[in-house]
Amino acid sequence: MKVIREGLSWGKALLVAAAFSIGINVFVFQPTKVAGLSMEPTLHDSQRLMISKIGHTFKEVPSYGDIVIVDSRVDRERQLVDDFQDHIIIHFLLKAVKGTEEGRHIWIKRVIGLAGDTLEFKDGHVYRNGEKLEEPYIKEEMSYESSEVITVPVDHVFVMGDNRNNSVDSRFVGSIPLDHVLGKMLFQ
């Protein structure tokens, strides 16, 4: 009997600790790892980062140049359950139960445009509100060009990878709703 009570006591303590840990990771801070080359030369494949989730929790608007993590599934409404499912431990548990891997929808990108901004892509550069951006962080001159002028909608941001010639970003999926901006890089 004493062994069972002791085991239940330990089990409760472990559940409380796990719930606290998941809560911190979902709403405050989250370690993450870069997957791919789209943020080179600033960030590298498999590099570890610490992300602040406070902006997402309190619905803050990021600033120009911020490196953020986003949910690229812009065609669907994001809900609180998504924040928990994106937690690394829960993600792997769900993967084990479902037996399949969902496509990578969490991206690390740089904020280039905010609501109301107009963006153009010409002559190998990004122009925001008619002015060419000075971007010392990009890997190389961009080969992408478009005659389209994009206006970032209200409650959205426009994000791009620093490796412009090897990045799938807002140029291809559109502007990212603010509730899909999941966090901001603190340090690497």
- Report the CATH number that the domain containing residue 163 is assigned in CATH: 2.10.109.10
Residue 65, domain extent: 2-78+105-187
Residue labelled with tokens 């303590």? 13
User: What's the mean per-residue pLDDT of the chain?
Assistant: 84
Residue 87 domain flag: no
Does the pTM surpass 0.75? The reply is yes
Told to judge if 46 belongs to the known catalytic residues of this protein, a careful annotator would answer: no
Residue 138 domain flag: yes
pLDDT given for residue 171 in this prediction:
94
Residue 85 domain flag: no
Neighbours of 29 (CB within 10 A): 14
Residue 170 domain flag: yes
Write down the catalytic residue from 9, 12, 33, 38: 38
Told to judge if 184 belongs to the known catalytic residues of this protein, a careful annotator would answer: no
What pLDDT digit, counting tens, does each position of 46-99 carry? 898 888 888 777 788 999 999 999 988 888 887 776 766 666 555 555 455 555
CA-CA distances (angstroms) from residue 90 to 21, 82, 96, 114, 172?
12, 11, 10, 32, 29
Q: Which two tokens stand for residue 77?
A: 């409404």
Task: Give the residues of the chain that fall short of pLDDT 70.
Answer: 81, 83-103, 187-188
- How many angstroms separate the CA atoms of 135 and 63, rounded? 15
Q: What is the number of domains present in the chain? A: 1
Residue 90 domain flag: no
Write down the catalytic residue from 53, 109, 139, 184: 109
Please answer whether residues 126 and 143 qualify as being in contact, where contact means their C-beta atoms are separated by less than 8 angstroms. no
